[in-house]
Amino acid sequence: MSRPRVALLNAAHDPTDTTRNFRRELDAELVEFHAADGDLPDSHDYDGVVVTGSRSSVYWDEDWIDSLVAHVADCHDAGVPVLGVCFGHQVVAAALGGRVDGMGEYEIGYRSVERVADDPLFDGIDETFTAFTTHSDAVVELPPGAQLLAENDYGVHAFRLGESVGVQFHPEYDTETAADVTTRKDDLGDERKQDVLDGITPENYAAACEAKRLFENFTQSLVQPKAAD
């Protein structure tokens, strides 16, 4: 089975850790674009697209964000499967007519998420699973016609519309990234920050590795139609 060719739209302002994490998890021929610098594909000649996290907010008035949202909308219209993660999940929602807004608080740390619908993206993942989360924005209105796939007490954690899917949590994180991101959250109180850092344990990471299965599910879905021809 051939490996799919996937455009990785890296929206991180310092893309190094994000590149490492996604290259480790995605079994695909990755062509990377630094979206936060305005670098985007000039065609839709890819088997799939992955949009990463970012410290930016989708609703900020910045040209690169507008261009990224428009590109994702074009990919969706062209039938190119899109997977968005955290900020990328919010980009997909905004591109397809949903709404993203600030939460006024952080969800951060290893948390439980509940699947509320069956979907191929979550094949092999338990109904209740553990994932690392870090976000202060959320999808507050799903795109018209989208199906909610997962949620918790902070709101939407996954949805699908056609071939486009988004997940709010970070299945790609390793413990190094989780600790670095937490440490940099200057607007978290010291006590809460330490609580999150104390929760970054081998046991919690091992539990969260179950959710990494969605990357395999996504990349396999990109080559299955070709194999059936």
The series of mean pLDDT values per 10 residues for the chain, 229 residues long, is 91 92 96 96 96 97 98 98 98 98 96 98 98 98 98 98 98 97 91 96 98 98 63
The set of catalytic residues is 86, 170, 172
Non-local (6+) Cβ contacts of 174 within 8 A are 21, 24, 205
Tokens for 144, please give them: 């018209």
SS3 state of residue 95: helix
Rounded Cα distance between 33 and 39, Å, is: 5
Number of CB atoms found within 10 A of residue 19's CB: 17
Global confidence as pTM: 0.95
Rounded Cα distance between 147 and 25, Å, is: 25
